[in-house]
Amino acid sequence: MSAIDELFTNLRSEGRKALMPFVTAGDPDLEFTAAVIQEVVARGASMCEVGIPYSDPIADGPVIQASYTRALDQGVKLSAILDTLQSIAPKVTAPLVTMVSYAIVYRHGLAQYADELVERGVAGMIVPDLPVEESPQLAEVCRTRDLSLIQLVTPTTPRERALKITETSSGFLYYVSVAGITGERTELPPELVERVAWLREQTPLPVCIGFGISQPEHVRLLAPVADGLIVGSAIVRRVAEASTKGRKETLKEISEYVASLVAALA
């Protein structure tokens, strides 16, 4: 059983749902990334997703794209990111996962990337641009290491294809709430609840919703139908304000924001 399997087993037995913040590694630097991760976990986050900056992101909106650009301009390297995660993992109670382009994993080597995550105490990887046709090899690499391979299902994914994605996914399924890119939204599609409910009936895997979730109202709406909720742009935007507001004030604001989302899950 992977760390993520264990997390959702415990949450389900307690009747609770997961809040999963996303942060960009290295924006504005890895020291602050580490501080944000530890703070959001301390305020009740169940898991933390760490974005590996990439020059050509697939589905990220302007807020996360800008954060990737800032991190890359600072010269952040994959090895330094993984070293930082290794230093954080023993200090937090929540599993850490990397959000990473398949191009990076492929270039690094599937087995090597997986081994480096395991060695550093990272629980899994989300690979948003991994085609289901190419997923079995990476899925097997992850399975033999108790490492979760989290894949995405979108509103435009045909149901037959969604079922194929469940077959090579592990840990949980990442359900994309809207057709489009990441970013904060005031409203979510009315059919979202129905689509997630259908998917949960097809697989024993937990189903977690991301893209556009930014308000306690979203959390209250979706918590009954989802196993977890993912919040990215709203946190990344606040991190970007550290250069003007100061790091201490920014960290406090992120902490209070995450606490409000966790409270909405109750």
**Spatial contact of 196 and 173, defined as CB atoms under 8 Å apart:** no
> For helices 30-42 and 233-240, what crossing angle results, to 10°?
130
Rounded Cα distance, 207 and 47, in Å = 14
**Spatial contact of 51 and 22, defined as CB atoms under 8 Å apart:** yes
Tokens coding 63: 């807020």
DSSP code, position 188: -
Q: Tell me the helices (H) and strands (E) count for the chain, helix number first.
A: 13, 9
Burial class of 3 by CB neighbour count within 10 A (0 to 12, 13 to 18, 19+): buried
Tokens coding 1: 């059983």
∠ CA(148), CA(149), CA(153), 5° rounding?
Answer: 130
201 is catalytic: no
Rounded Cα distance, 7 and 83, in Å = 23
Give the pairing type, strands 18-24 and 228-231: parallel
**Spatial contact of 216 and 260, defined as CB atoms under 8 Å apart:** yes
140 is catalytic: no
Q: Which residue has the tokens 């009315």?
A: 190
Tokens coding 124: 């899994």
Catalytic position from the list 49, 116, 184, 227: 49
Catalytic position from the list 5, 27, 60, 227: 60
* Catalytic positions: 49, 60
